[in-house]
Structure 1
Amino acid sequence: MFDLQMIGTKIVEELGVLIDQHVVVIDHNGFIIASTDTTRMNQFHEGSLIAMKEKEAMHMTKELTSKLRGVREGMVMPLVIEDTPIGVIGVTGQPSEIEKYGKLVQKITQLFVEDFLMRQEKERETRMFEFFLLDLLNGRVDKTLLEQRAEMLNIDTELYDRVIIIQLERRFDIKEIDYLKNIQIIHPQLHIFQWSFDKLVLLVPKVTRAHLEETLISFNRKLEKLFKDDIFIGVGNTQSFYQLKDSFKQATIALSAVTKNKTIVFEEDLKLELLLADLEEQKVRNFLSRTIGPILREDELILNLEMWLKCNESLQDIADALHIHKNTLKYRLKKIEKLLNFDINNNEHKVELMIAISLYRKYY
């Protein structure tokens, strides 16, 4: 039996704005659970039981008010869901006057209840899908059981082949996630779920890499515009449906490799970053201290060194890209060598410096 208590107050508030009469909501046991007249709360209403039994609206006449307990002049109208009365909506006043809009009040309330039930059912289905997804991506449930649950949930296991993780500093309710589904153009059957407080998981249907890149960029821009914050996206590789746990792990690794300059990362593109993923923080600090420690607080020097390591162009081209004079660049590189106390042209040192700067960009 549906518990009308959950939305009784809301119904009374809405109808109280629409009509200039007192309104009561009565549960299936005949007790008033919501009312614009608070003195009637929790009172027994005998007329409501008759209306529910007959499944018909009833006029509460002056004569009936003297015979039935808790009744005032007006109308009572049963709320029937799937041929079962779940309660009654009542309006006080002269029955002849109320009859003009009584059916409208009943219809509005009925629609209110039906909408609430539909949203409840949708939330229930969403939660079941989320529990299924949690078990699928954690890889802790037997495949046979997962297959049975997928069939029960009517999931097309041939359609989905990739997992994406989006990191945002907020949590979403069901309405907001529905909105995100509506503004994305990756695929009409894309699923989006809240995974943790600051992460969304996307279950992605089969699309080309080019299409995915293009539409993810578009989606990312929309999210940044909506939430005024940095959005980080890690993309796992394609996998068969029951191996999507691997795609989820890959998306997690890809997410760990994002930076403010590269906010969308495909795991399949990672090389050096694979070695740097999930390093202990203390090991990172020690490595940075032993390599670029003396210039860690010198953002300008680190940027100049990074450009020099990454670019094969002449010093003049690098200086132009940095908008500085070539001699200034030479001076800063010499200063870096002096502070670090080793030859930055040495190939072994170059590798160490590139790794150090990658770690610096990742963690700082």
Structure 2
Amino acid sequence: MGGGTMFDLQIIGTKIVRELGELIDQNVVVIDHNGFIIASTDMSRMNQFHEGALIAMKNKEVMHMTKELSVQLKGVREGLVMPLVIEDTSIGVIGVTGQPVEIEKYGKLVQKITQFFVEDFLMHRKKERETKMFELFLLDLLNGQVNQLLLEQRAEMLNIDTELYNRIIIIQLNRRIDEKGVDYLRAIQIIHPQLHIFQWSFDKLVLLVPNITRIHLEQTLHSFNRKLIKLYDEDIFIGVGNSHSFFELNESYNEANIALTVAIENRQIVFEEDLKLELLLSDLDEQKVGHFIGRTIGSLIEEEELIYNLEMWLKSKGGLQEIADALHIHKNTLKYRLKKIEKLLKIDINNNENKLELMIAILLFRKRKSV
């Protein structure tokens, strides 16, 4: 800490008092660096000034508050005051009320417990600060707008192994990531310390992934997907970017976004490297897309069931019976619906050129709905 760094003891003062209050019978107070009581087992002492604490902080030594001192000094009662010193800086005082001779035995216990709370808090705050700096760095890296030399300098400062990471994955949930989700992600980080998981928005995660084989990655993602679905009981969508060198990971991020769009349409984990026609359709003029959909399947837009049946028929390599079974309908019902589709669209759906146009139109329609 040192220097001019201030430590807000109030954040953990209540925890310290509660813990010590359960271990010893005497009253316990926590006093901040200005000499004011910020936590106490005796609520009547809250916010009172404690002159003895200031002296103990200045001298950086344990002081016995005798009967005489309790009369001479403002806000003092008989007992012990022990300064909390972190990196040679007094950040506050812990006080135990009672006859000094009787409470002497508690001195080391009180100091150790308090020191543990303070150091644990400092460690967590340091980790949070490092995580925030990493997140800001990743944001600049994935935006692709910052000079590479500057990124290299920041990566070195943050001790990032740029040879280790080569891929970005985006996970989309159908809901806000709540506390149980955050706890699960923390547990994953502990189990897989080389995997970095960032909450990108209220319902989206970005994963910075080390260089592992595709088979291993697929196994990990399917396991991850199952656990998140079990946690939230909702569909989870995962888009996987391609492998790139570290300072070109913005490309992997863009690819993961494209894959995520397809994943949302198809309810599955999608690797961008597997996309073909979907890749071609991912960056088209929105107005022209609207015109194309209108000219091909416009008369089916309000008939979601018919669109789904047509899509299944176009994708299937089997016969009508197999498609009907997959749709859980009678074969004659499927025949009737396909005839109805032909009548509404005024085309022969068995024509290969029409089939291609219909498949593209449905893909674009699904893409639009998922945005």
State the alpha-carbon separation in 1 of the partners of residues 101 and 283 from structure 2.
75
CA pair 34-317 structure 1, distance change in 2 beyond 3 A: closer
Q: Which amino acid aligns with 1:215?
A: T
Question: What is the match of residue 176 of structure 2?
Answer: 170
- State the shift of 1:261 in Å: 4.0
Shift of 1:207: 0.7
Q: Take 1:175 and 1:2, find their aligned partners in 2: how far apart are those partners? A: 26
Q: Is residue 2:316 matched to residue 1:308? A: no
Q: Distance in 2 between matches of 1:158 and 1:197?
A: 30
- 2:188 matches 1:180: yes
Is 2:90 aligned against 1:85? yes
> Larger deviation: 87-96 or 265-274?
87-96
Aligned length: 361
Please point out which of 125, 131, 134 is paired with 1:126. Answer: 131
Q: Counterparts of 1:206-355 in structure 2 under 5 Å?
A: 206-259=211-264, 261-277=266-282, 284-355=289-360
SS in 2 for 1:292: helix
What residue in structure 1 maps to residue 3 of structure 2?
none
TM-fit CA distance, 1:50: 3.0
Match of 1:4 among 9, 15, 30: 9
Identify the range of structure 1 (19-28 vs 217-226) with the bigger mean alpha-carbon deviation: 19-28
Q: What is the match of residue 136 of structure 1?
A: 141
Output the amino acid matched with 1:39: S
Deviates more, 1:104-113 or 1:298-307: 298-307
SS in 1 for 2:118: helix
In 2 relative to 1, CA 177–145 (structure 1 residues): closer, same or farther, beyond 3 Å? same
Query: TM-score if structure 2 supplies the norm length?
Result: 0.88
SS of 2:93's equivalent? strand
Q: Would you say the 8 A contact 2:16–2:117 is kept in 1?
A: yes
Please, what is the CA RMSD of the aligned residues? 2.4
Deviations 1:214-268 (A, max 9, x none): 1111111111111222211111100011111111111111111113643211111
Instruction: Please identify, of 307-316 and 103-112, the stretch whose mean Cα deviation from structure 2 is larger.
Output: 307-316
Is 2:235–2:267's contact at 8 Å kept on the other side of the alignment?
no
Kept after mapping to 2: 8 A contact 1:257/1:277 = no
Deviation at 1:175, TM superposition (A): 5.3
Measure the CA separation in 2 of the matches of 1:188 and 1:14: 31
1:274–1:66: structure 2 CA closer, same or farther, 3 Å change rule?
same
- Counterpart of 2:19 in structure 1 is 14
| 1:23-62 → structure 2 map (5 Å cutoff) | 23-62=28-67
CA, structure 1 residues 331+37, in 2 after alignment: closer, same or farther (shift >3 Å)? same
- Secondary structure of the residue aligned to 1:277 is helix
5+ residue gaps in structure 2? 1-5
Alpha-carbon distance in structure 2 between the residues aligned to 1:128 and 1:176 = 22
- Note the C-alpha offset of 1:282: 6.0
SS of structure 2 residue aligned to 1:259: helix
- Judged with a 3 Å threshold, the aligned counterparts in structure 2 of structure 1 residues 278 and 61 are, in CA distance, closer, same or farther, namely farther
2:153 paired residue among 124, 148, 158:
148
Q: Distance in 2 between matches of 1:61 and 1:302?
A: 87
Contact 1:172-1:194 within 8 A present in 2 as well: no
Q: Give the match's secondary structure for 1:195.
A: strand
How far the C-alpha of 1:89 sits from its partner, in A, is 0.5
Q: CA deviation at 1:38?
A: 3.5
Unaligned runs of 5+ in 1: none
Tell me, in whole angstroms, the C-alpha distance in 1 between the residues paired with 2:50 and 2:216. 62
| In 2, Cα distance between equivalents of 1:61 and 1:272 | 84
2:88 aligned partner, one-letter code: D
> What is the rounded CA distance, in whole Å, between the counterparts of 2:232 and 2:24 in structure 1?
39
**Could you give the per-residue CA deviations for residues 148-195 of structure 1, whole angstroms, max 9, x where no partner exists?**
111111111111111111112324677554223246xxx541111122
Bigger shift: residues 290-299 or 334-343: 290-299
Query: Structure 2 vs 1, CA of residues 323 and 141 (structure 1 numbering), >3 Å: closer, same or farther?
Result: closer
